[in-house]
Amino acid sequence: MRTHKIAAIPADGIGPEVIEAGIAVLEALAERMGDLKLEFRTFDWGTDYYRKHGIMMPADGLEQLKPFDAIYFGAVGAPDVPDHITLWGLRLNICQNFDQYANVRPTKILPGITSPLRNVGVGDLDWVIVRENSEGEYAGNGGRTHRGQPEEVGTEVSIFTRTGVTRIMRYAFRIAQSRPRKFLTVVTKSNAQRFGMVMWDEIAEEVSHEFPDVTWDKMLVDAMTVRMTLNPKSLDTVVATNLHADILSDLAGALAGSIGVAPTANINPEGHFPSMFEPIHGSAFDITGKGIANPVATFWTACQMLEHLGENAASERLMRAVEQVCAAGVMTPDVGGKATTQEVTDAVIGAIRGAND
Ligand code: GGG
């Protein structure tokens, strides 16, 4: 029996709804596999915790997480607390302190889901966006002075380091190399931002020599939105800065039918810290408590988590079950269905139990 210890942090909004669904599906999967045990421990951190304690997670929270093999995260953000407090207090606190510098965001159109793009169907849009996840625009370098006065100044300085850019570039080239098309697009804004972004281009060129079998090209981020929309089949693996990739991956999710299906993995490739897996979507308080949150992104990121844990067969079985359920039309309203979170979850569990492979 292989055992993996997983820390669940459902956090805010629809986070608890989709993580509950994810744990139910993972427990059914482990039972079906027979030789796999997943031990969950749920942490009550997030905005409710903040309202009680003035912090999003306890001071020793990172120490508490360290012994786990992976973190399964829901969503962060609430209407009554500023977003920068909730985001930096929980999600970014974990990502940055656990050096989860590679954020991997796959996109594909699942069977049964319709893309808003014309003439694009299942198999046509198959991307992996690699987001630099430790520095850049999210370096946290800035400040405010003269608050409220006419001369008030606010700075938000992006930090790009040679170490940070080189390691994410290598990571992205490696992913591109592992995929059939062996093709990487490097996104920057190096026409207007002539220091850090030009360094990105130079480092991409340098790292590319380590991967002679990978073809690559460069795009400016504004032009990239056009290419994703009008020529989506021309793309495969993409690497971009923390902010650019955050924006592009929301677009990617929408082009694949809904951000409700888009997963993300925050990876510490060296394995010094647990990696963290979550749906891309946030807390979505407009639909919180209605029972209609799409759990598919949370299931798909569970597949990423299982793969990361070396459980490839379980990962593939879960992805097959999700695709089968989508193809059968059991889907939440964001992707045109009428099913509830619970109905989609039950259908995926049914598909896992019913699989005769
Ligand atoms: N599950 C992802 C999540 O909760 N995201 C909240 C958010 O606001 N993220 C912004 C960011 O990661 O840049």
pLDDT in tens, 55-114: 999 999 999 999 999 999 999 999 999 999 999 999 999 999 999 999 999 999 999 999
Closest CA relative to residue 215, chosen from 171, 185, 170 = 185
75 close to ligand 1 (CB < 6 Angstrom): yes
Token representation of residue 72: 């399964």
C-alpha distances in Å from residue 177, one per residue of 84, 186, 190, 254: 36, 14, 25, 26
Q: How far is the CA of 246 from the centre of ligand 1 (A)?
A: 9
Neighbours of 116 (CB within 10 A): 11
Return the pLDDT at 94. Answer: 98
- Which CATH superfamily does the domain covering 1-100+263-357 fall into? Isopropylmalate Dehydrogenase (3.40.718.10)
Q: Residue with the nearest Cα to atom 6 of ligand 1?
A: 282
CA–CA dist 320, 315 (Å, integer): 9
CA–CA dist 115, 338 (Å, integer): 18
Q: Residue with the nearest Cα to atom 12 of ligand 1?
A: 246
CATH of 126-255, picked from 3.90.320.10, 3.40.50.720, 3.40.718.10, 3.30.565.10, is: 3.40.718.10
CA–CA dist 277, 4 (Å, integer): 14
Distance of alpha carbon 35 from its chain centroid, rounded?
A: 28
* Strand, helix or coil for residue 80: coil
In the block, which residue shows the tokens 């693996």? 237
**Which ligand 1 atom is at minimum distance from the Cα of 74?**
1
Return the pLDDT at 131. Answer: 98
Q: Residue with the nearest Cα to atom 5 of ligand 1?
A: 282
Whether the domain at 1-100+263-357 and the domain at 126-255 fall into the same CATH topology: yes
Q: How far is the CA of 221 from the centre of ligand 1 (A)?
A: 20
265 close to ligand 1 (CB < 6 Angstrom): no
Whole-prediction pTM:
0.96
User: What does residue 56 show for φ and ψ, rounded to 5 degrees?
Assistant: -80, -30
Per-position pLDDT tens, the chain of length 357: 899 999 999 999 999 999 999 999 999 999 999 999 999 999 999 999 999 999 999 999 999 999 999 999 999 999 999 999 999 999 999 999 999 999 999 999 999 999 999 988 888 899 999 999 999 999 999 999 999 999 999 999 999 999 999 999 999 999 999 999 999 999 999 999 999 999 999 999 999 999 999 999 999 999 999 999 999 999 999 999 999 999 999 999 999 999 999 999 999 999 999 999 999 999 999 999 999 999 999 999 999 999 999 999 999 999 999 999 999 999 999 999 999 999 999 999 999 998 666
Domains in the chain: boundaries: 1-100+263-357, 126-255
Q: How far is the CA of 206 from the centre of ligand 1 (A)?
A: 32
User: What does residue 102 show for φ and ψ, rounded to 5 degrees?
Assistant: -110, 115
* Strand, helix or coil for residue 11: strand
pLDDT in tens, 238-275: 999 999 999 999 999 999 999 999 999 999 999 999 99
Closest CA relative to residue 179, chosen from 210, 211, 225, 157 = 211
89 close to ligand 1 (CB < 6 Angstrom): no
**Which ligand 1 atom is at minimum distance from the Cα of 75?**
4
Under 8 Å CB-to-CB from 52, ≥6 apart: which residues?
none
Q: How far is the CA of 338 from the centre of ligand 1 (A)?
A: 26
CA–CA dist 105, 51 (Å, integer): 31
14 close to ligand 1 (CB < 6 Angstrom): no
24 close to ligand 1 (CB < 6 Angstrom): no
